[in-house]
A = this chain, B = another copy of it.
Amino acid sequence: MKNPVQQYLEEIVEACAGTSGAVADYIPELAEADPDRFALCLATVDGRVYTVGDAEARFSIQSISKPFTYALALQDSGKEAVAEKVGVEPSGDAFNEISLAPDSGRPFNPMINAGAITTTSLLAGEDGDERFARALEGFGRFAGRELDVDEAIYDSELSTAHRNRAIAHMLREFSILEGDPEDVLAQYVRQCSISVDTQDLALMAATLANGGVQPRTGEEVLDAQLVEHVLSVMTTCGMYDAAGDWVTAVGMPAKSGVSGGIIGVLPGQVGIAVFSPRLDSHGNSARGVTLFERMSHDMELHIMHVSRGSRSALRASFPLSQARSRRRRTTAEQEALDRVSDRCRVYELHGDLLFSGAESVVRSIVDDDPELAVLDFTHVNEIATVSRQTLIALRDRLRECGAEAVVVDPGEVIPDPDAGTDRATRRFPDVTSALAWAEDELIRRHCGDLTTSDPVGEHPLMSGLSDHASEVVRAALESREHADGEIVLEAGGDFSGVHLIIDGRAVACAEAPDGSRMNLVTMEPGTSFGELALGTEDVQETEIRADGDLSLLVLSADSIERITEDDPAVGLEMWRAMARDGYRVADKALRRGATRLA
């Protein structure tokens, strides 16, 4: 089945295949480019690459080197040192204007030639050769492969670089460049001659889209903070004197080159590259600009496009009464929880907790004013610093009111500054265990001592029996002990009777669809296990293990058969009680499923 995204990209490339514009001719080698070459490549932040047209045709990177040189200069020399030598203000000038601030000689920004020549000199290295090696290796990290130089382009370009030579010497005059300007110029021209194809550029752009992490190699090529900085400058200065038009019409940080390439970055989503050598009057690829305008419009890629999704990070919120742990409770506990369980609320968060998302979560919790708040971060990808701080502040406020917030955070997205101290936030690996804690805590806070004095007599299977039947059944109970971790019932075994927990806990485990083992239920004194096998053709489906030392009273399968045969009247009472118990468990389970699905 053909991927519809691929199909769409092929269609728009066809729709934009006009023939306006002319190939750059100020450098003899560039004038020889095939004017009809046309390629589009789109790389997602998880490394999927879509290509259309001549995506493997090589060309020199030219001015698209500028944002990457700037990025490497920021990394090698630091933001402050770079800011001393080159500004970040749009100049409104064409790409080859000298554009230096009148007093300091500081180039307006790193996307015009003067600024780019300056940043070239700020890469790590003792001389032009070393700094060039740094650029070549750095660009390769962005692209995810080793790159090389088109020497013919380099020779051709260096011999005709009169204007750039003038700029370099002017920069030297103002001491913006230090050392030999010819050395920097040669390095600059060599950088512009690095050979790439459209896919390389798309992946370089996708690395910026991905916060500086190369989508395929996974390498952190650039610090995320510097990525923001580079993208900002590309937004205001990337398209020369057409920057304002570009921002309004396309709305994506971008950079074009005179060989016919344009890259665009949609933060968090994709990197896009187009290659078509025919240029418009601003020196940008004519078909490239058309294609970007079309894609931005169709695909709603404009950075100012208002996405309503960011409004709420709260996927759902509900009282404990609608969730309940899968811990089996005694009737007394269950009744107690029915009274107080609305005092605990669960908040399911999702997506990225940016400021506005965290704000809406905090507002909900402040409004609900729960006694226990379970914050479920399972589906949260990333959490902004301010969100983290705000949520910690919320936890502290809740504590001041005698309330408590706990987190479910299997991915450890929200580190706790108080970890290891007695102020640490209680953390749970899954919602079920958090709910079990919350139930225990509510019972502890509000329901006094619910320890059952007669776990056998209060069990639903026994409580409905006549005195005589109860006596017969009690007499048949066998006492058993299991040590922590012992398997009490094996999955796949035969029905072996009803197991009443007198002391300790047992857990039921099963294999998850992905093959892993998961704990389904934790069972406490007063509850029972084993009887569900009656519903599955006498096969015990789950494995039961002791969770700590475990004391049981067992009404074995043999005893059940014996009573049924020897004393049919008691047998009938017993089976009737089991039927009621079966439907009771069924009703509870169905009801829980229904509530949570609603």
Contact = CB atoms under 8 A, between A and B. Distances in A.
Interface of A: 1-5, 7-8, 44-46, 48, 87-92, 108-109, 209-211, 224, 227-229, 231-233, 235-237, 241-245, 247-248, 251, 253, 266-270, 298-311, 315, 318, 321-322, 326, 350-352, 354-356, 358-360, 362-363, 366, 369, 379, 381-382, 384-386, 389-391, 393-394, 397-398, 400-401, 431-432, 510, 512-513, 518, 520-521, 531-536, 541, 564, 568-569, 571-572, 575-576, 578-598
List 5 tightest A-B contacts by C-beta distance, closest first. Answer: A582-B582, A535-B583, A309-B352, A535-B584, A589-B589
A580 to B, nearest CB: 5
B45 A520 contact: no
Contacts of A308: 45, 211, 268, 352, 381-382
A213 B373 CA distance: 33
Given A304-B228, A598-B512, A356 B269 contact: yes
A322 B352 contact: no
A363 B48 contact: yes
Contacts of A393: 4, 7-8
Contact of A354 (B88, B211, B307, B398): B307
Most chain B Cβ neighbours within 10 Å, of A237, A305, A369, A596: A305
Given A90-B236, A520-B590, A536-B584, 13 more contacts: A89-B244, A267-B304, A268-B309, A270-B356, A307-B354, A321-B513, A326-B593, A532-B590, A534-B580, A535-B588, A580-B582, A582-B585, A589-B593
B248 A304 contact: no
Nearest to A590: B589
A570 B370 CA distance: 53
A4 B397 contact: yes
A338 to B, nearest CB: 13
B586 A299 contact: no
B384 A299 contact: yes
Contacts of A398: 1
B89 A108 contact: no
A363 B50 CA distance: 11
Contacts of A3: 362-363, 366
16 contacts: A5-B390, A87-B244, A88-B244, A90-B90, A227-B306, A235-B247, A267-B307, A300-B355, A321-B513, A326-B597, A512-B595, A536-B583, A536-B587, A541-B587, A564-B572, A581-B582
A394 B379 CA distance: 27
A579 B210 CA distance: 57
A233 B585 CA distance: 63
Given A229-B248, A518-B598, A307 B586 contact: no
A362 to B, nearest CB: 6
A235 to B, nearest CB: 6
Nearest to A582: B582
* Chain A interface main SS type: helix
Nearest to A510: B594
Contact of A46 (B45, B241, B311, B386): B311
B228 A251 contact: yes
Nearest to A311: B45
A583 B400 CA distance: 46
A45 B301 CA distance: 21
Contacts of A232: 244, 247-248, 251, 302, 304
A306 B268 contact: yes
B598 A267 contact: no
Contacts of A211: 306, 308
Given A236-B247, A393-B8, A583-B582, A299 B92 contact: no
Contact of A315 (B2, B303, B379, B390): B379
A383 to B, nearest CB: 10
B244 A237 contact: yes
A263 to B, nearest CB: 15
Contact of A579 (B231, B579, B588): B579
A245 to B, nearest CB: 6
Contacts of A87: 244
A472 to B, nearest CB: 15
Contacts of A268: 306-311, 356
Most chain B Cβ neighbours within 10 Å, of A267, A400, A431, A533: A267
Contacts of A235: 235-236, 247, 304
Contacts of A590: 520-521, 532, 585, 589
A351 B351 contact: yes
Contact of A269 (B229, B243, B355): B355
B227 A304 contact: yes
Nearest to A577: B579
B390 A4 contact: yes
Nearest to A5: B359
Contact of A568 (B269, B512, B533, B568): B568
Contact of A587 (B363, B535, B579): B535
Contacts of A381: 308-309, 311
A505 to B, nearest CB: 18
Nearest to A538: B580
A163 to B, nearest CB: 21
Contact of A8 (B389, B521, B535, B589): B389
A236 B232 CA distance: 10
A244 B248 contact: no
